[in-house]
Structure 1
Amino acid sequence: MLQLLGLSAHAETVYRASLQYPDHGVGALSQDTGLTETDVRTAFDELAALALLRPSYQYGGRLRPVSPEVGLSTLLASAEADLATRQAQVETARAEIAAIAAEHRNTRMFDNTVRLQGLDAVRTRLEELQRATEFECLSLNPGGAHRPDARSAATPLNEQALERGVVIRAVCRESFRNDSDTLAYAHWLTEHGGQMRTVPTVPIQMIIVDRRIAILPLDPADPRAGALEIQSPGIMAALCALFEQCWSTGTSFGDQPPTDDNGCTPMERTLLAIVASGDTDEAAARRLGVSLRTVRRMMSNLMERLDATSRFQAGVNATRRGWL
């Protein structure tokens, strides 16, 4: 209990015994405490160095214990002084850290925008934001697979945020269900109180923290290039509206995507819209996050249901029948 004052466990035991039996020597204290005589002598040296034992006036060559009111109180006062000095040093360091962080932000910030160059800078900033999130974290995730290393890094921070009462809502592509790692993360997130919905396509990678900070990729085609941290209120309002639009059309994780009155799933309707815009099957596969074979199978089924002999005719018939 007195380690804060510099006493080892053996020294404390010997000191307490000496207070109780002030006339006992090394041999007797060894029996009193169950320690070896060597341990008792080592404790004596330690207690003498701390001024808790002093030469006895009554027994020559012996040491007497100093009363706790004097000896321990002196040590406590010294510890308190050290603590106060340490606290002052901590506050000075805190101020220096704040100054360095502010200087770092100022060198990167332009018009409420910070450039995060490279994947390491992005992940470092996301870790900072996750720890500082107060009430809500929103994300759009166009990628099909959740990388295991990214998941292992994010999971503890997400768990801490959920324990603090932070609301986590994520929108992912429907095709992520084909990836076992991402599926496992989705199960973990929803079981711990997070919310996830799926849509056929996600417009852009995006993370929004407390509706005041957004992280967007520098290059959507290359997530490793880095990101932009945006704090502009006007842009934030537009990005939050984009998220809510995607969220409102999504299917809750664990539910089957609903079919409309024409028997089309959200992914089928999206595929028809992609085809009607003139994109190729390859482009459709990339946007949906599925294989080219899957797109061609889905398109063949849709053409049969629309009585179409070509992709172009399928788009025309879908529009005429009100499928789009």
Structure 2
Amino acid sequence: MSTTLGLEALDRTVYQMMLDRPALGVAELAAELAVAPDQIHACLDRLFALQLVQASFEAPSRFTVVDPVLGVKRLLDQQHDELLRRQHQMASSHQALVRILAGSGGPAQRADGVELLAGPDAVRRRLERLALEARHEILTFQTDLPQPPTALRTVHESHAHALRRGVAVRTVGPDSIRDDATTVAHTRALVAQGGQVRTVATLPTPLVVVDGTYALVPVDPADSGKGALQLAAPGMIAPLLALFEQVWGTAVPLVGDPAGAGRVPSEQERALLTLLAQGHTDESAALQLHISARTARRIMASLNERLGARSRFEAGLRAARLGWV
């Protein structure tokens, strides 16, 4: 710890000896430690710079140690100030770099809020930049799942960095990824950091929306090699946001999604789902539960809405996937 705080081994030893034996001068310290007096002077200079020793009131030509608690506090304060200075310097450098990169996107075609990103590499670079600059939220329809482990790690690192900055991350993928152990493992790690991931049977198109300001859509959904369009016009972004929210509302959490915690059914709801899954009608299920058929239908309608299901069959599938039945 002392080295981290700027103290060398000899500095620490000299400080401790001065604390234990205040009467020792430079010559005595040098003799005790078998070092040259110049080395002791150098130690005292460093300790003085760190405010761990100060000039003695009784003998101004000599140093006396500062109270250890006060000395360490001063040292920590200095280190804290230095850390803040470096963080500010890094932030300034980062902003300058982003400004440089913003003007170095390579050849692109722009027109009225639309920019053509030609090819997968250009799309990847733009996604990385948007994730880096995101301030509020990243919304994604991830249709190209499951992905190779290296690609998953890249996406995970980008999203994890955004989450650490307080950016919300919501992703919707196809139901097929539930059978891919690698994807599920990465998803669990992302959810543990605050991300949310859900799935649906099919997705309309690949999509990324950042801060409700920029969106990326494929030039050709059937051929990712053709690149993507970055949209910035509010009139283009609004319907894409509405589409995302509509699909998100019908999607089912892939793993322990924080937003899905409130969707756990009551015992009565779980019993109704089980009876309907066994083939009971509303009337016979209601009879088993000692409720009216109208109440059973009302409960089922509420469950359909919570599950984002369009039919009783779909509700049964989603409930089973969530472990409700």
**TM tier relative to shorter chain:** 0.5 to 0.7
Separation (CA, whole Å) in 1 of partners of 2:107 and 2:149: 33
In structure 2, relative to structure 1, the CA distance for the partners of 1:18 and 1:134 (3 Å cut) is same
Output the aligned Cα RMSD. 4.9
Are the counterparts in 1 of residues 250 and 309 from structure 2 also a CA contact under 8 Å? Answer: no
Is 1:233–2:234 an aligned residue pair?
yes
Separation (CA, whole Å) in 2 of partners of 1:93 and 1:164: 17
CA offsets, 1:87-118, max 9 Å, x none? 99879857754652443369646233344455
**What are structure 2's unaligned runs of at least 5 residues?**
49-60, 67-77, 256-262, 264-306, 318-325
Are the counterparts in 2 of residues 11 and 43 from structure 1 also a CA contact under 8 Å? Answer: no
Is 1:246–2:247 an aligned residue pair?
yes
The residue aligned with 2:100 is: 100
Corresponding residue SS for 2:216:
strand
Separation (CA, whole Å) in 2 of partners of 1:121 and 1:112: 17
Are the counterparts in 2 of residues 17 and 29 from structure 1 also a CA contact under 8 Å? Answer: no
CA offsets, 1:22-52, max 9 Å, x none? 63526x4453xxxx424x55724745998x7
Is 1:23–2:25 an aligned residue pair?
yes
Are the counterparts in 1 of residues 138 and 210 from structure 2 also a CA contact under 8 Å? Answer: yes
Are the counterparts in 2 of residues 142 and 173 from structure 1 also a CA contact under 8 Å? Answer: yes
Separation (CA, whole Å) in 1 of partners of 2:10 and 2:90: 32
Separation (CA, whole Å) in 1 of partners of 2:126 and 2:316: 35
Are the counterparts in 2 of residues 144 and 179 from structure 1 also a CA contact under 8 Å? Answer: no
**Where in structure 2 are the equivalents of 1:1-324 lying within 5 Å?**
8-11=8-11, 13-14=13-14, 20-21=22-23, 23-25=25-27, 28-29=29-30, 31=32, 36-38=33-35, 43-44=39-40, 46=42, 97=97, 99-104=99-104, 108=108, 110=110, 111-223=112-224, 226-253=227-254, 258=309, 260=311, 263=313
In structure 2, relative to structure 1, the CA distance for the partners of 1:257 and 1:183 (3 Å cut) is farther
The residue aligned with 1:308 is: none
In structure 2, relative to structure 1, the CA distance for the partners of 1:265 and 1:105 (3 Å cut) is same
Amino acid at match of 1:100: I
Separation (CA, whole Å) in 2 of partners of 1:92 and 1:198: 39
Report the count of equivalent residues.
240
Amino acid at match of 1:229: Q
Separation (CA, whole Å) in 2 of partners of 1:14 and 1:2: 13
**1:181 offset after TM fit, Å?**
1.6
Q: Identity over the aligned pairs, expressed in percent?
A: 31
**Higher mean displacement: 241-250 or 201-210:** 241-250
Are the counterparts in 2 of residues 215 and 230 from structure 1 also a CA contact under 8 Å? Answer: yes
The residue aligned with 1:322 is: none
Are the counterparts in 2 of residues 117 and 225 from structure 1 also a CA contact under 8 Å? Answer: yes
**What are structure 1's unaligned runs of at least 5 residues?**
53-63, 70-78, 268-324
Are the counterparts in 1 of residues 138 and 170 from structure 2 also a CA contact under 8 Å? Answer: yes
Corresponding residue SS for 1:177:
helix
Are the counterparts in 2 of residues 138 and 170 from structure 1 also a CA contact under 8 Å? Answer: yes
Separation (CA, whole Å) in 2 of partners of 1:170 and 1:236: 17
Separation (CA, whole Å) in 1 of partners of 2:221 and 2:9: 60
Are the counterparts in 2 of residues 211 and 236 from structure 1 also a CA contact under 8 Å? Answer: yes
CA offsets, 1:242-289, max 9 Å, x none? 22232233334369995725x46899xxxxxxxxxxxxxxxxxxxxxx
Corresponding residue SS for 2:104:
helix
Amino acid at match of 2:135: E
Amino acid at match of 2:254: F
Separation (CA, whole Å) in 2 of partners of 1:266 and 1:141: 25
Separation (CA, whole Å) in 2 of partners of 1:193 and 1:87: 25
- Larger CA Rg, structure 1 vs 2: 1
CA offsets, 1:125-178, max 9 Å, x none? 333333433332211122241331122223244334445543322221122223
**1:211 offset after TM fit, Å?**
0.9
Separation (CA, whole Å) in 2 of partners of 1:144 and 1:98: 30
Separation (CA, whole Å) in 1 of partners of 2:128 and 2:156: 11
Separation (CA, whole Å) in 1 of partners of 2:102 and 2:314: 52
In structure 2, relative to structure 1, the CA distance for the partners of 1:102 and 1:250 (3 Å cut) is closer
Corresponding residue SS for 1:202:
coil
